[in-house]
Every structure is written in C-alpha cells, then in structure tokens.
C-alpha cells in the first residue's frame, strides 16, 4: 500500500500538469485494520513500543530484552549505547500491518531488524519462549551490526560492510536458541538427502530457511571444533579482509576448503549413524502425495467412499484438498482442489504451518483462515463444499486448530487475544456460545476433546524440573481444573484420542525431532507410560486416526511436506522405546520474568519523532545543459506511519535562470489507519517533453497542491481518489504560443489485484482498474476534459509454471486540450518505437503465452564459476491503436520474447517478432529486435 502511495506521489510529481496518469499501478494492499494507540515503555537500554491491552506481554518482553542485552554485551564484548527501539505487536496478524517496512511480511516471518533506523519489530505469538527467542534473535542482529560498524569505524574503514547473510542469520540463531527439533529436522534431512551445501556454495541457498539453519549449524560446529571464543573473534577480525571467507580462514587458521571438509565430515558423522535405527518416512510409512507442501490430514468416511482432507500449497496458493482413497486406503485419484485460498478476502491466508483442520463425523470440515482483521473459523459441508457457517470474534485475533467433539456440535480451539495471550476456547456451534477455558500468559495450544468432559491440550505451563516444556494437560470443562497428562523433559504436540477411546496419539521431540507417540487409556485414565510408534529421522506432524490401527500424518522429508499413512503394529505398541513418568502431580507454576522495579522504567505516551529514512543528492554537469543538481529526502516517524517526501532540484541552463528554476515539492503521506491519505505542495519549472509533438519540448512553470486518498476494501481491492490544483503557465513557442491554466483535476478509481507472480511477471489471478477523472481549467477555460480508463488483465494458469496472460486496456480522454496517451515499445505494443503511438483515445490488447525456458545455466571458467537461474520466455500477440478525433489505423505485432530476472529486482527483456502494419493487413518484412527492461504485464 505504501509503495502504491509512493508511486502515485512520484507520478504526480512529474506529470501533475497532465493530471491523468499514464501508468496505472496495481498491487495488493497492506491494510491497517487497527488504529493502534501506541505507548512507550522506556527501560535502561530500550524504548519499547506497544499498544492496547498488551502491557503484560510488553513488560515481559522488556524484561527479556534487558536480560538478553546483558548477556550479549558479555558474550560479544560490546554494548549498544543508544536506546534500542523494540516495537511489539500482539499477534502476527497485527505485525503484518506494520509500516516500519513498506513491503508485505510473509506469514512465516517471526520478526525483523530494520537496519536503517535500527528498529526491531516483533510479534508475540502467544508463546513466551518463541517471543524470547525472536527478541534474542533480533537483538543479536542489533549487536552484531553495531559491533561490525564499530570495528570498521575504529579502523577508519568503510562502514557499509556486513558479513554475508548466512553468517548474519546463522549467528542470530546460534546465539538465540538451542538446537531444537526444527533445526535438527532440517539439518538431518539436508545431510542425509544430500542437499546440504558447504560454505563455498552457500550462495545457492541464499535467503532460504535452510541457509539460516546451515549458518547456525556451522557456528555450532565452530564452537565444538575450535571453541566458542572464536565466534566473536570473527567479528573482531572483520576489518582485516574484504572477503569474509578470508576472515574465517584467518580466525580459524585453516583454508575454507579444509573448514568445509571438516564441517561436512562433522555433520556426516553426526547424522549418518541415525540411519542404523531410524527410517525415512517413505520407508516407514506409505506416501500419499507426491507434490507440493501438504499438511494437516484428516480422514473422513462417507457412506460409500473415504477421503483425506488436507491443507496444502501445491501451486503457489494455500488451499484445501480432498484425496479420495480406495478400499486399501491408497490414493484412488489425484487430490482434488475443494477450496482455493489467498485469492479472496474471505480466505486471505491459510496458516499452513500453524493451524490444523478437522472434520466431524457428520461431514462438517472446520478450518481457519485470515479474513479481514482477524482469523475466522469456517465450517464447510464436505458433500457440496459449501461454507455453512463462519465463526469470528473481534477480540480473538489469531485462531488455530479447531477440533470437533464426537457429536460434531462443539469445537475447541486455540486463540490469541488482544493481550497476546494464547488460550483454549470451547464453542457450541448450534447456539453460538463461546467459553474461554484458560486465561493466562502460558501458551496453550492444540486442544482436542478427551474423555469425561475434559479437553486435552499442549501447554508450556509445565512446572518443576521441566519448567517451560510443552507437556500435555487435561482441563475439566465444568471446574476448569488442569492436570498433567504427560510430564517429561520434552515437547508434546498434536494430541488426539482414538475412536475406540483406548489411546492418545501425539507427537514428541524426545529423540531430537518430532516423532509419533502413543499413550494408553485405561478406564478413562491416562497411563503413566508413553510408547514411541514411529522412528523417523525427520519430523512428523498432525497424526490422525484412520481407524484404530492406522494413522495418517504429514511429514517432512527431502525439504518437502507430504501426507503419509502408517499402520500401527502390535509390536510398536509393545515397543521398548517408552518413557515412564515419575510423577504427574507437580505443584506450582513458573512465572515470567518482569522488570525489577518501577524506578528503572517509565511508561509514556508515544510521541512522533521524525528521523531521516533516505537522503540522496546529485550534481551533474552537462556540456549542453550546464550544471544541475537536486536532492530527495524522506522522513518518517519511528513507526513509519507518517512520512514526508521532500524533493528539491534546479534545472537552470544559464546562470540567469538559476533562481526561477528551482523545483520543490513537499508531500506528507499518512498510513496510520485504514484510510491512507496524503497531501502536498509543489512548484515546478522547466522544460517538458511534449507528448503532443514528437521530439519537441516546451517550458512550463507551475505550482499547486495535491490531495490523495486510498481506502483498501480488502487485501485485494481498494478505492483511490486524488485531487490536484495547479496553476500552470506553458510556453510552447517562446513569445508566440503559450497556455495558461488553473487546473483542477479529480479522479476516482477502483483497483483489484490478486495475481500470483513468477520471476518475470504474473502467472495466475487477475488485475483490473477502472478510473473516472475530470480535469478543468477553472480560471481561463483553456482545458476541460474527462477521462475514462479501464484496464483488465487475466492470467490463466496452464501448468505450474506456464500461463496464458491476457490484457485489454481502454483509455479515453474527451474534451478541450485533453491529454494524450501513448504506447509502443517493449511494455505494450511491441516492435513499434517506444511511446511513438499517441492519441487522446487509445486501446490495447495483448495475449501472451509464458513459459520457463532454462532453469539453470552454469558457465565454468577456469578461474570462476557463474550460475544463472530462471530464464523465461513468451510468445505474444499485441494489437492496439491511438487517435485524437478520428480513428486512423490498427497496429499489431507478434513474436517471441526472452526474460531474465536479475537478483529479483530487474527483468531484462528481449523481443523478436514482426509488426503487423497497414491497418492490420501486412506483416513487416524482416524482423524487429527490441531490448529493454521491465516486468511482464
């Protein structure tokens, strides 16, 4: 959203006089559903920003931050002397509304450190251990960047150097967490399945989750082999070499090849022996899916058939699927898409990694999606795939894993409220009655219905020797009494009771990764012993019963998540791999840390303090146009809600023009609430390219103001409006022809975008825009015209990476001195000279078949290896025309194009084809060749 505003602003800066934008920008919206009432908790080393009811979480976070600060200062022999801004959100959903960064925040992001102003932004997810982990992770970034800056500055070296990303993230993980089941799972999988890459090739996994975990693994290896003291020394030595590998070589006193070999050997020695008694999931279970990322299977049997429902991302969108099973519980067909997510506001996102789905015996499927400001629970009839009910409460921001009762009339689920507390709720579907079962800062999750009016759930409320571990608990529905079901030094998740009520099935990381375990139930009481029934070397998730001897679950292997089916053998139930609980009657509870005394912190209201985001100036000297210079500055408050853009430049060509050639604009954009607005003033003077006549310029001076408004209806649609008032004086032929105008221009538009992008442009979804505008000269009546614009783009997915893209645009200005549109060139009507076809009216259509060409191209020089990825191609057909009064001719072109994305920021385009000339009656002789840059439409 912010990007859109900025782009609108830039366009208005440079083309305001023509008042109707030539280019129309689509894009999804970052909707600020909440008006956050920000407050500040000021501690010794931090300014902590929080809002609403999350004071308790903010205070706990502040205590964590201070403790971590002291720890990192000691470990890294470094202090950060400024107060570090920590911005807390109560959930990931609110976190995704932050304006600290302009881009969209993907669901999996647990927090970020913004390097320019040193801001740390972190959501609470309901889990204090996760919260503490993320605070620590981000503070490692703060300390590391500050220390690297200090080391380089001390040596008077350029301070814009940082270690490579794998080290930056690896260090943050290494210093912020023990090896957990997730890290262990990823590294085991990478090493055993042979996609682990060493330091020399780590660029190949740049930015991936694997890169984080490999960086962490490398530093754990350094600690074990060379000593923990070497790791801060790497930062101390960074001034010595420009190449970071040389810094590592110097610190560890070995070559990178030797270090790489040692690390690889260390990992193989660590993980290969696991294969002696652990199995891959494909061998220990039957794999039911073969593509994509598949999660949370639930089994459902109708009268004459049986299915597994699951959530998955199999084509770029998170969706719900149905897999039909034959009588042997093998797939009878390919999975069928039953509900498409991420294309509409109602199903804005499925939380694939967080939330499970469930199905009742009567055929009601429950699942969670984000819908608008909060998560909601949908109830879908599986016989016709219709949503029959939706549950939503304003105060429950984030919801996970609803589970049905046996009769299908009730559900239990986990939700995070506005305080940031993660608790268990009980909901009666028929009478819409909701009961909150727990209410504290312990992380209660994965509830399911148990026996005797009890709910079983996983929680970190474990006290005693294993304080903070996620054990399983039961809570009595009537008196809310909580008891331990398990008590061990491990984490337990995803409990579910068998149909015959004899077993409790769940996952546990007892042996390093999450495997499936079982607990017998005798006469309604849980045994004091649990038995391991899977022994995979990577993790299993969300096990569910098909029947009393067969389960289905999702599992991670070969860097992919699939659905598996497993038969439980009697021998596994009698497994020797058991854990016996010594006690399940531990008393008391652990308490979260708090700030020591009120004298050491202050609570304040948030007051905006503006600081520079960006400043750039340039002075250029040209033999024809002389010396010119300009600067652009942007300022914003700490939360990024209020932004100022200042542009100043001078276009004088001779000294006498200097004073009258200043160009200035100041614009304020406010993004703090759902309605985004902006306003500004400008004064522009200088020569303008005259789009009415080819290769002509005119001199124009103008000043005025602009007002912008944008209201996002959903993530995918918004309404935009703008008003501009400008006094202009245009000198077309000096002393002879001129135009004075006092222009008032209004426009309103509706924009839609739910497209899914590949490396060079959209390949699925649609984008459209409708704009109505009116521009008039309210003083001299020299200009008076209206505008209608319609632009529609639709992308038909033909395969995973192929698509047919269509576009139709209609641009219509009518009235006195109406602005002209233009086209031609690589962006629209290919083959024709760039922007050479002009008129007050214009239409354009394109049809394009987009497909991958070369996935990877490696060039091996004797001294250097180069790799390029993601070459794409397209065949295209374009047609269109532009005219003023009378329609003249139709232009067209056909051809083939090649696309290459450079580092995700720029697409190079090379098109070859033939123009269709002479009112669409003749192909050009020969071919045209066009090279340019830009994304596909």
Residue 748 structure tokens: 């309103």
Nearer to other proteins, 68 or 496 (CB): 68
- Residue 323 near residue 563, CB atoms below 8 Å: yes
- Residue 53 near residue 34, CB atoms below 8 Å: no
Report the phi/psi class of residue 158: left, alpha or beta, with left for phi > 0 and alpha for psi in -120 to 50.
beta
Nearer to other proteins, 25 or 239 (CB): 239
Report the phi/psi class of residue 923: left, alpha or beta, with left for phi > 0 and alpha for psi in -120 to 50.
beta
Of 675, 669, 766, which Cα lies nearest the Cα of 712? 675
Helix axes 256-271, 209-226, angle to 10 degrees: 100
Nearer to other proteins, 194 or 599 (CB): 599
The helix (run of H) or strand (run of E) holding residue 220 is helix 209-226
Nearer to other proteins, 62 or 744 (CB): 62
Q: Tell me how crowded residue 333 is: count the other CB atoms within 10 A of its CB.
A: 10
> How many angstroms from the chain centroid is the CA of residue 874?
28
Q: What gap in Å lies between CA 818 and CA 730, rounded to an integer?
A: 15
Residue 646 structure tokens: 């200042």
* DSSP SS3 for 148: helix
CA distances from 192 to 170, 272, 275 (A): 21, 7, 9
Q: What gap in Å lies between CA 76 and CA 72, rounded to an integer?
A: 6
Q: What gap in Å lies between CA 436 and CA 482, rounded to an integer?
A: 14
Nearer to other proteins, 153 or 200 (CB): 153
Which class for 710: exposed (0-12), middle (13-18), buried (19 or more C-beta within 10 A)?
buried
CA diameter of the chain: 102
Q: What gap in Å lies between CA 429 and CA 83, rounded to an integer?
A: 49
Closest CB 70 distance from other proteins, rounded Å: 7
**In DSSP terms, which residues pair with 85 in a beta bridge?**
47
Distance between terminal CA atoms of the chain? 19
Q: What gap in Å lies between CA 677 and CA 728, rounded to an integer?
A: 25
Nearer to other proteins, 152 or 847 (CB): 152
Nearer to other proteins, 154 or 328 (CB): 154
CA distances from 141 to 80, 101, 111, 112, 172 (A): 11, 17, 11, 9, 6
Closest CB 243 distance from other proteins, rounded Å: 9
Nearer to other proteins, 246 or 884 (CB): 246
Closest CB 228 distance from other proteins, rounded Å: 8
Nearer to other proteins, 242 or 483 (CB): 242
Of 412, 277, 305, which Cα lies nearest the Cα of 358? 412
Closest CB 270 distance from other proteins, rounded Å: 23
Which residue ranges make up the site for other proteins (CB under 8 A)? 44, 70, 73-75, 77-79, 81, 150, 153-156, 227, 229, 233, 239-242, 246, 250, 253
Strand bridging mode 293-301 / 306-313: antiparallel
Using alpha carbons only, give the angle 618, 620, 625 rounded to the nearest 5 degrees.
Answer: 140
Nearer to other proteins, 152 or 477 (CB): 152
- Residue 849 near residue 785, CB atoms below 8 Å: no
- Residue 633 near residue 614, CB atoms below 8 Å: yes
Nearer to other proteins, 156 or 269 (CB): 156
Q: What gap in Å lies between CA 168 and CA 140, rounded to an integer?
A: 9
Q: What gap in Å lies between CA 225 and CA 231, rounded to an integer?
A: 12
DSSP 435-481: EE---SSS-EEEEEE-STTEEEEEES---GGGTT--EEEEEETTT--
Residue 434 structure tokens: 């909701």
Closest CB 118 distance from other proteins, rounded Å: 17
The residue assigned the tokens 């009112």 is 919
Nearer to other proteins, 229 or 304 (CB): 229
Nearer to other proteins, 147 or 403 (CB): 147
Nearer to other proteins, 194 or 597 (CB): 597
Nearer to other proteins, 246 or 731 (CB): 246
């Amino acid at each position: 959203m912010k990007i859109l505003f900025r782009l609108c602003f830039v366009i208005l800066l440079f083309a305001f006089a023509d008042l109707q934008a030539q280019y129309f920008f689509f894009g999804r919206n970052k909707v600020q559903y909440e008006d956050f009432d920000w407050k500040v908790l000021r501690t010794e080393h931090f300014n902590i920003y929080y809002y609403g009811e999350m004071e308790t979480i903010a205070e706990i976070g502040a205590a964590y931050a201070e403790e971590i600060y002291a720890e990192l200062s000691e470990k890294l022999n470094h202090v950060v002397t400024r107060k570090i801004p920590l911005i807390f959100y109560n959930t990931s959903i609110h976190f995704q509304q932050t304006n600290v960064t302009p881009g969209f925040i993907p669901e999996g992001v647990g927090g970020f450190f913004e390097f320019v102003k040193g801001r740390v932004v972190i959501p609470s997810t309901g889990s204090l251990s996760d919260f503490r982990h993320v605070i620590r992770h981000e503070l490692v970034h703060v300390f590391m960047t500050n220390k690297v800056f200090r080391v380089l500055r001390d040596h008077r070296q350029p301070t814009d150097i940082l270690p490579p990303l794998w080290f930056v993230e690896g260090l943050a993980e290494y210093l912020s967490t023990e090896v957990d089941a997730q890290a262990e799972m990823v590294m085991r999988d990478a090493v055993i399945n042979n996609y682990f890459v060493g330091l020399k090739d780590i660029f190949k996994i740049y930015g991936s989750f694997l890169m984080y975990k490999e960086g962490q693994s490398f530093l754990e290896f350094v600690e074990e082999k060379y000593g923990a003291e070497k790791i801060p020394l790497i930062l101390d030595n960074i001034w010595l070499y420009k190449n970071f590998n040389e810094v590592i070589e110097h610190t560890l006193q070995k070559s990178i090849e030797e270090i790489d070999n040692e690390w690889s050997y260390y990992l193989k020695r660590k993980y290969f022996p696991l294969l002696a008694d652990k199995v891959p999931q494909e061998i220990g279970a039957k794999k039911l899916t073969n593509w994509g990322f598949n999660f949370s299977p639930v089994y459902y049997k109708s009268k004459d058939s049986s299915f597994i429902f699951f959530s998955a991302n199999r084509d770029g969108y998170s969706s719900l699927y149905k897999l039909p099973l034959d009588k042997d519980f093998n797939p009878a067909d390919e999975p069928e898409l039953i509900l498409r997510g991420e294309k509409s506001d109602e199903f804005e996102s499925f939380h694939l990694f967080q939330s499970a789905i469930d199905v009742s015996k009567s055929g009601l499927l429950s699942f969670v999606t984000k819908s608008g400001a909060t998560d909601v629970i949908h109830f879908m009839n599986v016989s016709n795939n219709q949503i029959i009910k939706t549950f939503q409460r304003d105060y429950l921001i984030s919801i996970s894993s609803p589970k049905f009762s046996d009769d299908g009339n009730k559900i239990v689920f986990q939700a995070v409220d506005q305080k940031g507390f993660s608790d268990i709720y009980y909901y009666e579907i028929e009478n819409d009655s909701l009961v909150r079962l727990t209410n504290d800062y312990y992380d209660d999750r994965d509830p399911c219905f148990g026996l005797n009016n009890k709910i079983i759930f996983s929680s970190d409320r474990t006290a005693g020797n294993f304080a903070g571990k996620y054990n399983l608990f039961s809570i009595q529905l009537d008196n809310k009494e909580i008891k331990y079901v398990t008590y061990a030094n491990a984490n337990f998740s995803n409990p579910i009771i068998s149909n015959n009520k004899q077993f409790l099935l769940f996952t546990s990381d007892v042996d390093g990764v999450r495997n499936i375990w079982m607990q017998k139930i005798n006469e309604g009481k849980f045994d004091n012993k649990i038995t391991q029934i899977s022994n995979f070397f990577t993790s299993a998730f969300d096990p569910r019963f098909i029947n009393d001897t067969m389960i289905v679950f999702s599992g991670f292997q070969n860097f992919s998540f699939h659905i598996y089916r497993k038969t439980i053998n009697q021998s596994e139930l009698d497994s020797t791999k058991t854990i016996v609980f010594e006690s399940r009657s531990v008393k008391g509870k652990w308490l979260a840390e708090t700030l020591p005394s009120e004298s050491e912190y202050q609570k304040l209201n948030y007051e905006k303090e503006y600081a520079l985001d960006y400043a750039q100036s340039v002075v250029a000297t040209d033999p024809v146009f002389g010396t010119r210079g300009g600067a652009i500055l942007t300022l914003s408050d700490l939360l990024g809600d209020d932004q100022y853009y200042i542009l100043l430049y001078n276009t004088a060509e001779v000294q006498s023009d200097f004073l009258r050639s200043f160009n200035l604009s100041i614009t304020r954009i406010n993004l703090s609430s759902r309605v985004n607005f902006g306003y500004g003033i400008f004064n522009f003077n200088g020569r303008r390219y005259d789009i009415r006549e080819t290769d002509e310029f005119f001199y124009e001076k103008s000043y005025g103001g602009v007002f912008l408004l944008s209201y996002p209806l959903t993530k995918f649609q918004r309404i935009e409006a703008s008003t501009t008032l400008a006094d202009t004086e245009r000198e077309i032929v000096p002393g002879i022809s001129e135009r004075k105008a006092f222009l008032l221009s209004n426009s309103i538009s509706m924009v839609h975008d739910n497209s899914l992008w590949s490396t060079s442009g959209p390949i699925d979804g649609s984008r459209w825009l409708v704009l109505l505008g009116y521009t008039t000269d309210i003083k001299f009546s020299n200009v008076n015209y209206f505008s209608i614009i319609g632009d529609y783009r639709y992308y038909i997915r033909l395969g995973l990476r192929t698509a047919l893209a269509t576009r139709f645009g209609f641009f219509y200005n009518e009235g006195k001195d109406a602005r002209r549109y233009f086209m031609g060139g690589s962006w629209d009507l290919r083959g024709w000279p760039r922007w050479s076809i002009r008129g007050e009216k214009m239409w354009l259509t394109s049809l394009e078949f987009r497909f991958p060409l070369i996935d990877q191209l490696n060039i091996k020089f004797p001294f250097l290896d180069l790799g390029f990825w993601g070459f794409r191609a397209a065949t295209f057909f374009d047609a269109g025309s532009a005219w003023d009064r009378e329609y003249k001719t139709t232009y067209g072109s056909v051809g083939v194009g090649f696309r290459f994305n450079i580092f995700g920021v720029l697409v190079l385009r090379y098109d070859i084809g033939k123009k269709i000339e002479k009112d669409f009656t003749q192909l050009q002789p020969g071919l045209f060749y066009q090279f340019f840059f830009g994304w596909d439409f």
